[in-house]
Structures are given as structure tokens and as C-alpha cells.
Structure 1
Amino acid sequence: MLSNPTSYFVLPSLRRMPVVSTRVPRSISRSLRNGRWHTTRTLATVAEDTFRIPIIDFGKYMHASSTAEKEQTAQDIVRGFTDVGFIYLNNHGIPWPHNLTHMHLLQSAEFFRLPLEKKSELAWRDPRANRGFVQIGRERVTQSADAEEIKQLREKAPDYKESMEIGRDWDKTYKNYWPQETDAPGFRRTMLDFFQTCHELHVQVMRSIALGLKLEETFFDDKIHEQYHNLRLLSYPPIKRQLLSGDGQARAGAHSDYGTLTLLFQDSVGGLEVQNPRTGQFQPATPIPGTIVINAGDLLARWSNDVLRSTLHRVVAPPLKAISETEGVTPARQSIAFFCNPNQGAEISCLPTCLVPGSKPKYPPVTTEEYIVGRLQATYV
């Protein structure tokens, strides 16, 4: 139930928040005046200069001493998803980069070091299940939903990464694929515990979003409790520069995510870039120790009538290490993405507080399963 059924969402005023600037380099020009060269540095546009991913102290929401403090943090989170589509979440309750998540990255890396034949026994098979191992070249993430177009992109410039997809383990229809305990000791238990930890954080962030959108704080609780999520372990192996120099080639192509939120745990290597929606330029989302990168997905954008932004992003090669005068190699990169989704059969239709009176929703209703399975069917071989 809405706290105020007649109200609709209005962008909160922006108070000063810690931000990470994704400021583009200054353009440099030189001119000859009075017989001497002069250098002029100017920013390309104001929009580029103000495109920044905010750092949100989630402890102020989780441990708020007043309703006003809680609402202010909720508004900051909504503003981040409205302006950029991405936030850095700090003081989120998951130890990072200490034992818990560090252990997950280590166990993930150990899994990907298994022989290909062992990993291939766990191969991804069905978009409805969305579980299993995906080897290098099988996936080509893109905004296109056309299977033939994606096939051509995959053949021309496949994503240079491998992944392991894990869903809710109690699902009666679709089962996870697990390596033998002797091959990956503790892997299953560690990842299932982490799955639950991420879901619990997802619930809290969705409560803050509800509050920031002028809904009851628990509005989303019964729409996300089925844990219809996907835990994706990602490995980006070292790769020579020449293999990433082709047209359209990247470690992971430009795309938006499908669900409500994505929680990204990454190492210090970097490579994630976010598209400035105003200029179209991609700008780095530099890893910040202790923070989780969180972005809004397509279904949350549809739910909010695009009040919240599902922003394009990609993974590119970090700085190369020279191995000869003409060739360099990228370092390996590890990350874990937790793709948060609404319940499988949840109807995603315009939230009442996100529709200005007299206007119509931008999107027709769709269920979570319809949307996500449709995107997955076109993405994989």
C-alpha cells in the first residue's frame, strides 16, 4: 500500500555526496601567438564533467537514527540511479576486501583453473535454467535482441571471458551444476552462502529504493522473496593486445543488465566502463576498496517508467604489460556479479508513483521470466 496514494515521484534535490569523477581528459589545443606556442586546455562539455558515480554510505540507511536520515540516504540512492544508473555502495555489511568476499574471489579463480574438460561437464544448457559453465566465445553480450545479429557479432568479436552461473539451489525444476567436491573443495557451500548474503543485501537496497520513490519501504518484499537470482563468477584470462584490437572486440561488449539490480564485486585490475547517457562516451568505473558497484537493470527501469536508469556498460582491457617491443598482454581479472531479479512470475508494470498524472506508461506489462528468458535465448549459442 502506498503511503500517499495520490502522490507521484518527483526527483529529490541533490545534496552534496562523495563522488568519483569520471571526468574525461581535457582537450588540448596549441596556437601560435606573438611568436610563441600557447597551450589551451578545456573540458569538452559540461555534461561530461558532471557525469559522476556517487559513493553512498549505506550504513546511514541501515543504522539511521531518524526517519529523516533514512529518507535522505534513500533519496541519494534514487538520485544515483536516476542520474547515472550506477552507485558505489559503502558500509554495506559485507566484508570487502577482507575474508568473506576475498575468499569468494580466490575460490572462483581456483574453479576456473580446473581443466576445460571438467568445466565443460558443467556446461550451460538452457536459458530458462541459466545455470552452468560458459566457455570463452560462447556469449556475446549486446543490446540487440535479434538472434541472427548477435550470432554475427559473436562470430566477429566474441566476449573474451568465461563464467559460471549459479541459481537458487532448491529449485525443483532447474538444478545447479556443481564440480566434484574433490575437484573444488568447499566451492558449493561457499557460493551458496554468498548467494544468500547477496540476496539479503538486495532486499535492503530495494527497500531504500522504495522509500526513495515514495512507496512503502517494504513494497518490493513480496515481489523479490523467491530469490530468482543469478550468481555469476567471471574470469577474464590474460590476453594479447592484438586479440583485442579487432573491430567491436572487448572483454565484454556494451550492454545493460536484465533484472532489478546488479551487485558487482571486483578485484583491483579494473576495466569496467560506464556510458555517459548524455554524451555516449564510455568512462571508467574505477575499483574503490570496500565498495560494491551497483547498477540498475532493465526490469527496474521498466518498473519505474525509466525514472531509474539502466545504463550501458562494458569491460575493456586494462593497461597492458609489455612482453616485447610490439606486443603487450593484459593482466587476468576476476569479478563476481550477483544479478538480482524479481520473482519469476512477477508482473513488471509501471509503479504508481512513477507515472505523472495524465500520462501513460512507456512499457506494457511483462513478467520477469518472459523478459529474462527472451534476452538469454538470443545471447547464447
Structure 2
Amino acid sequence: MFSSNNQVAPSLRTILLCFIVAILEGLDLQTVGVAAPAMAATFKLDSAALGWVFSAGLIGLLPGAVFGGWLADRFGRKKVLIGAVILFGLFSLLTAHSATYEQLLAARLITGLGMGAALPILIALSSEVASVELRNMAVSLTYCGVPLGGAVAAMIGMFSVSGDWRLVFYVGGVAPLLIALVLMLWLPESRAHRGQALALGETTRELLGERRRFATLLLWGSCFCTLTILYMLLNWLPTLLIERGLSRLDTSAIQVLFNIGGVAGSLLAGRLMDKGRALLAVLLAYLGMFAALAALGMVEQLQGLYIAGMAAGACAVGGQLILYALAPRIYPTQVRATGVGVAVAVGRLGSMSGPLLAGQLLAAGAGVSGLLLAVSPLVAIAAFTAATLLTHERRVLPVVGSMAN
């Protein structure tokens, strides 16, 4: 999997540590979704106000992704990653100690800044240490930590005896602070040299110049649509299932299955891409996503909802993995973290839109089935742009796909 034999140990260590940080990010991303029903009762929030709690952290993810990637290209991946992990750990703890709705929004906003900065660095680091033929699998191994972390969050919610919604935020805050110390000691320095970040104009030309403009716009469009769906599910799925009459335990079980499915979908998508079957991965992800959304809205049997939840996770997370694995291939080393970060940030616009849109539709009286089916056009757009990115830009991807380090 790795570039040369004498780099195997540092490369393995890099991917392992990136995977652990991804678990922590996934845990924190889903803490609000897990805590939402009890949190809404504590702060007396309606659906629209709860939508803003979901979206506050996602709003922070956007500038975090853009500037985190740029800072990593300029000052070094390791230093910026450690700072990002400390930031989202501290403000996860502050979320648990929020006394007012305004404090809750502020804590989630700043938590999102740290999480947004971390993700593009994790993707860039894992893609840089792997050999070309297994680079997609390296990214998928790292990224599957995100749904695993979500499963951990759901299990904390499931087995919390006291039912205290703050517990999941304590775990999501203390663990990153401990891992930050591990990163300081054991994360190898990136092979990308500090100071490589280009001036703003040069960076813009690398991303949106004639050579890469079409690929960049397709990547952005697919990221936006896919993340709209993914984050609507991540944040609203527990509440939607409870509204359908499921118990707290059954709801948590489906959320765990959603995340386990995400791990499987991420690994399968990465393997298909390394085998040259990326278009098949796209078709499986987005056709499966459409079917799973319909099933979550219409299936009545609990066992069917278990299967639908797992399939939804596999397809939504797998679809996003495809895009995250493609992003580092498009851009050269000196703008790689920046390019990935901007793509993640554009996707975060979708991740903000999803929870807000769901909150407004539910507040207006839309049913669960209607809400899930309303996003089906986004599935079609995401599938089309992802497939076009794979098939239309042959003069770009083979050239930079080698990703000379």
C-alpha cells in the first residue's frame, strides 16, 4: 500500500492516527443528532430551532475546511491538524456546559471550525503516504473512521443509563484532547514541505484554470448534493424515527447500523475504485441511496427499517468517499490540501442546507415520507455529476492521478 519499504512504518502510523482522528470527528459530528431529542426537551426547542443547532456546527465546518487546508499547505499538515483536534475537543466540552440556547449555538459553531479544518488534512495525509494503486483504499480506510465514530456516538446514546444528553459531548471532548498529545508524539511529519502554499491568485488558477475548471465544478456540485442528503440523515434520522413511533432503543440501533453500513460502503467504494470500477461504485452508491431513502419513509416492519438504515449509511457515506478519494487526484501537491478543503467546504454548504431544509419542512407539516422523497432529485444530480467527473475529464485525471509527491 505504501510508497517505499523504508516508509512502511511511518505510513502505517500516519494512516492509523488519521483513522483515529476520523473516528473522533465522526463521533462529534453525530453527537447533536444523538442528543437532539433530550436536548430539545431541555432547551424547549421546536423543529426549526433544533435545525439551527444542527447547522451551527456545520456552518463552522465551511471556513474551517477552506482555511484549514490552506494553513496546512503553508505551515505543515501536522501542526494544523493538532490545533484543529484541540479546538473541537475543547468546544465539545463547552457544548455540554451550555446554559442557554445562544451558548449552545456558539459552542457548536466553534466546534465545527476545528472539525472542518481536520478532515481535508486527514484526506491529504492518507493519500500522500499510499502507493498509487492503493491510494483510494488508504483514503477509504481513513474516512471509514467517520461512520465508526458515529456508531460510537449512537451506542453511547443507546446505553446511557441516566439518559443525560451531555455524556456524549464529554466523551467527544476529552478523547480529542488525549489524542492531540498522541499526535504531537507520534504523527510523522508530512512529506509535503511547508511553505508550498501558493498565493491566492495562483491557487485559484490551479483550482479553476482551464485545465481543472470543469473537474473542480463537477466535484463541487456532487459534494454539495451528497452532503445535503448525508447530513440530513446524520442529524435528523433519530428524530424522524422517533416520530414514526420507534422506541429510543430501536432508533439508536438503526443509527448504529447506519454507521456500520457507512464503514462497509466506504471500504467497498475504495476497493472498487482501486480495481478500476469507479463508475460501478457511483451507480451502486446513488441508486442504492434512492432506494434506501424511499424505504426509510415507507417501510413499516422494524427489520426492514434496520436494513434500510444500514443501506442508507453504506450508500450515502460510500458516495461521499468516492468524491473524497477523487479530490486529491485532481490537484498537485502544493494545493492538494487547499483543493480538498475547498471541495469539502462547498460540500459543507450542502451539509448546512440539509438539516435546515429538513427542519423547515417538518415545521411546515411535511411528513417523514414526504421529506425523504423530497430530496430524491438531489440524488440524481449527485450521481450525474460524479459519473461525469469520472468519464469526461480524461485529459486531467490520468495526468494528476499519479500524484507525484
Alignment TM-score > 0.5, same fold: no
Q: Which has the higher contact order (CA 8 A, sep 6+)?
A: 2
Q: Name the structure with the higher strand share.
A: 1
TM-score by length of 2: 0.30
TM-score by length of 1: 0.31
